[in-house]
Chain A
Amino acid sequence: MLTAWAILADGLIYASWLFLIAAGLTVIYGVMRILNLAHGAFYALGAYTAATAIGWYYGGSGDTHMLVSYLLLGGCALVAGALLGAAVERGVLRIMYGRDEILMLIVTFALLLILDDAMKLIWGTQSYLPYQPYAEMGRMNFDGLSVAYYDVTLIAISLLVGLGLWYWLERTHTGKILRSIIHDREVSAAMGVNVKRMFTITFMIGAGLGAAAGGLTAPAISVAPGLGAEVIVVAFAVVVSGGLGSIGGAAIGAIAVGLARAASVHLAPELELFVIYAVMATVLIFRPHGLFGQATARKI
């Protein structure tokens, strides 16, 4: 029974982390049709920014408060990610619009490598451990199994992010415009929608979400070079399983992968890595466009 509870708790925690990363990736693909490999770099930027902010905050002599540290983790990362996102979209991606999706994939891969090296120049090669918020929040104990409150909070945050994205896309004027772009970019432009401006906003939000995911994860991990490249592969497995461009799909994909992985860690640890991709392969066998993906006619 304890193992079952552990699988459920671990699965949901891992799923919330996956969803936070995958949400930004999904928003960008859904609106802009860009498979953004540079998302890993935004995640890493968020983690490094949060590590620096936490180091500064806890390095001072004054009192510290959990709420402030949480705001620092998410806020600094979000701002850094959104600003870098704007620079990347305006400076690089804008001149590539209209090109083949594969070319955009290569361009964003190049950006991932360049940004990874740039972060090495700024933060060096030593790892950072901004663990204080994670340790300070404490933990709950259940018959010998402990769960960190920080991780539980992460589940709540990912729920809020999911609901916020749904509300933004489904219930706001901007969301309506974005959905019209998703349906048909050219017709939207013909109807007077400033598609380029919406692309900038979308990319900033997607990049900011990726960076915020990194910032909120930073206290639970070792922030080290290569962080972004490690994350992007599993994030893609999630969004492909859920259906590229679908927020709901990303959430279901994250839960499926999270629970499957947690079950594997507890019951068959040697299959841990395999099981993530087994979930993806199984989904794609039966639904080639993912759980919530839709087949679209190819324009000639």
Chain B
Amino acid sequence: MKAHKSLSRWTRGVTTAGSALALAAAGLAGMTATASAEEDTFRVGVVAFLSGNASGPFGIPARNAAEVVIEGINNGDLPAPYDTAGLNGLTIDPVYIDENGGTSQQVEEFRNLVERRDVDAVVGYTSSGNCLAIGPVAEELEMLTIAFDCGTPRLFEEVESPQYLFRTGLDATADNIGAVRYLQDTRPDVTRIAGIQQNYAWGQDSWRDFQAALDTLMPDTEIVAEQMPQIFQGNYGSEISALQTARPEIVHSSFWGGDMEAFVTQANARGLLDTATALLTTGESAFYRFEDRAPDGTILGGRGPYGVFAPDNALNRWFTDAYVEAHGEQPSYPSHKMAQALLGLKHAADNAGAEAGTKPDRDAIIETLRGASFESVSGTVRMDRADGHQAVQDMVYGEYHYDSSEGPRLENVIHYEAECVTAPEGEDPVEWIEAGFPGVDCE
């Protein structure tokens, strides 16, 4: 019995030691594999809404675009100037993260990406709240982070001297200055304006900027009604009645996704859009979905020259064809914005001065991207604000028209130069608008 106990103890000891050795070996092998992966690949955290209300209109199109562009870059399929495979020859290894779940969770996910997943860069974020939360953390952790879609004008107010945070798309101020300029050019005689926005930062900031631009550019107009329903409310019957009784000529809305489509559908069915024209700053995302639910003449924006507003250049042709082939539908503006962020990253990595096939130094990539001018699916992008960390581009608006046999089309498309919709470096956007856009001549 005693001998058996001793043998048992000896066996357990050997087993424990063996297990420890095996674990150590596995860990060593893992570390070797990771080190190997780090040398051969460029790991990018891609953060987009993969669940929740924002996933359908924004997150999934953005993730789809990331898949198409990353595969294209890795295979060297893109046209010039991105016709070399990989990021400086390194294969991109994407790590997809769901943006849903709130700002605290996103900060945790971001730290996870940096500290445990060992990413080389992060590209993502649609929610303004998430961008505002991630910005300071990106700076603290010294991680190259490209915000591809969020529109808050306060991003570089919160991060005053950015080193690691970039944004390759435009902000909401540009959307709303462009919207007023479009009204001024196409409907100079309107006087009665109403607005309906989602009651959170995005809706409130958009309405503030639109009103400020309206006061400056069209001072004879009057705000006859403003509604701020809860986000994702879905049913806007009462709000539509309130807008109808105010008899507006234009109804401005920064609604996005399902809320926007529901509002347009209900307002059209209720007859509001028989007498008023809807001006939808994010309307492009439903361009291929509206069909006859949006009346002819509805004014659409795409938050810049993206989606159906994107120019006919080689990069856009490649991207659109590849996207349609992979996903069976046309890309919308969030897809183009994701593609743009990844192209900005490739531009910086390829031109950071590292030997081909080796990983460029992060600081060198950042220095290359800061103040850069790079080609994209939307034309030339200039990183020309916020010390070279914020992109500027033209703003585009147009009118939606639909024919059941030919499908949707745009009419009266007008481009506004970047300088006409974006405040000069160092200027507060609202003060710049209220001062009458000093320093630019956009007449």
**Residues of A near any B CB (own CB < 8 A):** 2-3, 6, 9-11, 13-14, 17, 120, 124-127, 129, 131, 134-135, 139, 141, 144-148, 151, 217, 220-227, 230, 261-262, 265-266, 269-270, 272-273
Decide: A125 and B51 in contact? CB cutoff 8 A.
yes
Q: Which of B38-62 contact A (CB under 8 A)?
A: 50-53, 55-57, 59-60
- Given known contacts A139-B271, A141-B271, A224-B257, is B245 in contact with A266 (CB within 8 Å)? yes
Give the distance to chain B from A265, nearest Cβ to Cβ, in Å. 4
Give the distance to chain A from B316, nearest Cβ to Cβ, in Å. 24
Report the number of A-B residue pairs with Cβ-Cβ less than 8 Å: 126
Q: Mark B227-248, 1 if CB is under 8 A from A, else 0.
A: 1111011110111011011010
**Cα-based distance from A262 to B272 in the complex (angstroms):** 18
Give the distance to chain A from B128, nearest Cβ to Cβ, in Å. 19
**Cα-based distance from A225 to B244 in the complex (angstroms):** 29
**Cα-based distance from A222 to B260 in the complex (angstroms):** 9
Partner of B232 from the list A129, A134, A145, A226 (CB cut-off 8 Å) is A226
Give the distance to chain A from B391, nearest Cβ to Cβ, in Å. 28
B192 CB–A CB distance under 8 Å: no
Q: Which residues of A contact B229 (CB under 8 A)?
A: 265, 272
- Given known contacts A10-B241, A125-B55, A129-B262, is B199 in contact with A273 (CB within 8 Å)? yes
Give the distance to chain B from A258, nearest Cβ to Cβ, in Å. 9
Decide: B232 and A2 in contact? CB cutoff 8 A.
no
- Given known contacts A120-B51, A125-B59, A269-B226, is B238 in contact with A222 (CB within 8 Å)? no
Decide: B52 and A226 in contact? CB cutoff 8 A.
yes
Decide: A272 and B52 in contact? CB cutoff 8 A.
no
Q: List 9 A-B contacts (CB under 8 A).
A: A10-B238, A14-B237, A127-B262, A139-B269, A148-B270, A220-B235, A222-B258, A224-B232, A269-B226
Decide: B227 and A148 in contact? CB cutoff 8 A.
no
**Cα-based distance from A217 to B265 in the complex (angstroms):** 14
Decide: B230 and A131 in contact? CB cutoff 8 A.
no
**Cα-based distance from A290 to B262 in the complex (angstroms):** 34
Give the distance to chain A from B226, nearest Cβ to Cβ, in Å. 7
Q: Which residues of B contact A221 (CB under 8 A)?
A: 234-235, 262
Q: Which residues of A contact B270 (CB under 8 A)?
A: 139, 146-148
Q: Which residues of A contact B258 (CB under 8 A)?
A: 127, 222-224
Q: Which residues of B contact A266 (CB under 8 A)?
A: 238, 241-242, 245
B127 CB–A CB distance under 8 Å: no
- Given known contacts A125-B60, A144-B244, is B234 in contact with A265 (CB within 8 Å)? no
Decide: A6 and B52 in contact? CB cutoff 8 A.
no
Decide: B53 and A224 in contact? CB cutoff 8 A.
yes
Give the distance to chain A from B96, nearest Cβ to Cβ, in Å. 14
Q: Which residue of A lies closest to B247 (CB)?
A: A144
Besides A134-B265, A135-B268, A265-B229, 9 other CB < 8 A contacts? Answer: A6-B245, A10-B237, A14-B235, A145-B241, A145-B245, A147-B241, A220-B237, A224-B257, A269-B228
Is the interface on chain B under 10, 10 to 19, 20 to 34, or 35 or more residues? 35 or more
B261 CB–A CB distance under 8 Å: yes
Q: Which residue of B lies closest to A154 (CB)?
A: B237
Give the distance to chain A from B327, nearest Cβ to Cβ, in Å. 12
**Cα-based distance from A135 to B269 in the complex (angstroms):** 5
Decide: B235 and A217 in contact? CB cutoff 8 A.
yes
B293 CB–A CB distance under 8 Å: yes
Decide: A6 and B247 in contact? CB cutoff 8 A.
no
Partner of A131 from the list B55, B271, B293 (CB cut-off 8 Å) is B293
Q: Which residues of A contact B52 (CB under 8 A)?
A: 225-226
Decide: A127 and B56 in contact? CB cutoff 8 A.
yes
Decide: A273 and B230 in contact? CB cutoff 8 A.
yes
**Cα-based distance from A273 to B231 in the complex (angstroms):** 11
Q: Which residues of A contact B340 (CB under 8 A)?
A: none
Decide: A127 and B242 in contact? CB cutoff 8 A.
no
Decide: B245 and A126 in contact? CB cutoff 8 A.
no
**Cα-based distance from A287 to B226 in the complex (angstroms):** 35
Decide: A265 and B227 in contact? CB cutoff 8 A.
yes
Nearest 3 CB-CB pairings of A with B: A222-B258, A127-B258, A222-B262
B106 CB–A CB distance under 8 Å: no
Decide: A134 and B269 in contact? CB cutoff 8 A.
yes
Decide: A146 and B271 in contact? CB cutoff 8 A.
yes
B149 CB–A CB distance under 8 Å: no
B266 CB–A CB distance under 8 Å: yes
- Given known contacts A13-B237, A139-B270, A220-B235, is B51 in contact with A225 (CB within 8 Å)? yes
Q: Which residues of A contact B230 (CB under 8 A)?
A: 272-273
B259 CB–A CB distance under 8 Å: yes
Q: Which residue of B lies closest to A230 (CB)?
A: B232
Decide: A127 and B57 in contact? CB cutoff 8 A.
yes
Q: Mark B84-104, 1 if CB is under 8 A from A, else 0.
A: 000000000000000000000
Decide: B266 and A2 in contact? CB cutoff 8 A.
no
**Cα-based distance from A125 to B239 in the complex (angstroms):** 26
Decide: B245 and A3 in contact? CB cutoff 8 A.
yes
Q: Which of B91-138 contact A (CB under 8 A)?
A: none
- Given known contacts A13-B237, A262-B238, A272-B228, is B244 in contact with A222 (CB within 8 Å)? no
Give the distance to chain A from B56, nearest Cβ to Cβ, in Å. 4
Decide: B261 and A129 in contact? CB cutoff 8 A.
yes
Decide: B257 and A127 in contact? CB cutoff 8 A.
yes
Q: Which residue of B lies closest to A220 (CB)?
A: B235
**Cα-based distance from A224 to B51 in the complex (angstroms):** 11
Q: Which residues of B contact A127 (CB under 8 A)?
A: 56-57, 257-258, 261-262
**Cα-based distance from A145 to B271 in the complex (angstroms):** 9
Give the distance to chain A from B223, nearest Cβ to Cβ, in Å. 12
**Cα-based distance from A125 to B247 in the complex (angstroms):** 36
**Cα-based distance from A11 to B268 in the complex (angstroms):** 21
Decide: A148 and B238 in contact? CB cutoff 8 A.
no
**Cα-based distance from A222 to B269 in the complex (angstroms):** 14
Of B237, B244, B272, B293, chain A has the most CB atoms within 10 Å of the CB of: B237
Q: Which of B202-239 contact A (CB under 8 A)?
A: 226-230, 232-235, 237-239
**Cα-based distance from A127 to B293 in the complex (angstroms):** 15
**Cα-based distance from A270 to B242 in the complex (angstroms):** 13
Q: Which residues of B contact A146 (CB under 8 A)?
A: 244, 270-272
Q: Which residues of B contact A125 (CB under 8 A)?
A: 50-51, 55-56, 59-60
**Cα-based distance from A148 to B266 in the complex (angstroms):** 9
Decide: B227 and A129 in contact? CB cutoff 8 A.
no
Decide: A226 and B53 in contact? CB cutoff 8 A.
yes
**Cα-based distance from A125 to B229 in the complex (angstroms):** 23
Give the distance to chain A from B135, nearest Cβ to Cβ, in Å. 26
**Cα-based distance from A139 to B267 in the complex (angstroms):** 12
**Cα-based distance from A266 to B227 in the complex (angstroms):** 9
- Given known contacts A125-B60, A221-B262, is B237 in contact with A269 (CB within 8 Å)? no
Give the distance to chain B from A259, nearest Cβ to Cβ, in Å. 11
Decide: B53 and A225 in contact? CB cutoff 8 A.
yes
Q: Which residues of B contact A272 (CB under 8 A)?
A: 199, 228-230
